[in-house]
Amino acid sequence: MSEEKEDQLLLSNVEDLKGHKPRIEFQTPTMIRFGEVEDLIAYMLQNRFRFIGIPAWRYYCRESREENQNRLYYMIEVGNDWDGEKIKLVSGDATDYSGHGNSDRVLAEFFISKILHLPIEERPLSYLFDELVYEISMLVRERT
């Protein structure tokens, strides 16, 4: 399939998500963790943001000693107020090998690079763990 036809198909897939109800796994005041890439995209399509942080982040976790056997998570920072706090939108369960996970990777990277026009920078998953631990610790602090 040509790149142009593939882009048209991906754009159609993105447009289909406008009516999708995003599944939120958990939410803090500054982070929302979605179950799937499609949920993050649907959330962004259904909500308006004043700014989108640059870059988007791709976190990887190697699942095998073989190359291209990674589980991928994406994070995009958004905000509704120029002076307000950023909200981190995080999705997971994409992969860089065959199956539904690879389709999620292709869709996420199309959305980030071709629709949002953001560069994607890559980091090991440990960076995302640090973010999650911080978010959880802030929730615990607020409640005690």
Q: Which residue, 39, 54, 60, is CA-closest to 129?
A: 60
Q: What is the pLDDT of residue 41?
A: 96
E-state strands within 7-131: 24-28, 31-34, 51-52, 56-62, 70-79, 87-95, 120-124
pTM of this prediction exceeds 0.75: yes
> At a CB cut-off of 8 Å and minimum separation 6, what does 95 contact?
63, 69, 70, 71, 72, 101, 102, 104, 105
> How far is C-alpha 73 from the chain's CA centre?
6
Looking at the predicted structure, is the pLDDT value of residue 66 above 80? no
Q: What is the pLDDT of residue 144?
A: 80
Q: What is the pLDDT of residue 19?
A: 93
pLDDT tens profile 69-80 = 889 999 999 997
The predicted model gives 93-117 an average pLDDT of: 91
Looking at the predicted structure, is the pLDDT value of residue 140 above 90? no
Whether the CA torsion 53, 54, 56, 59 is positive or negative: it is negative
Task: Check residue 74 and report its DSSP letter.
Answer: E
Alpha-carbon span 23 to 34, nearest angstrom: 6
**Structural contact between residues 128 and 90, judged by C-beta atoms closer than 8 angstroms:** yes
Alpha-carbon span 78 to 52, nearest angstrom: 4
Q: What is the pLDDT of residue 63?
A: 83
**Structural contact between residues 55 and 120, judged by C-beta atoms closer than 8 angstroms:** yes
- The structural domains of the chain, with segments of one domain joined by +, span 3-143
When the pLDDT of each residue in the chain is averaged and rounded to a whole number, the result is 90
With cut-offs at 50, 70 and 90, classify the pLDDT of residue 123: very high
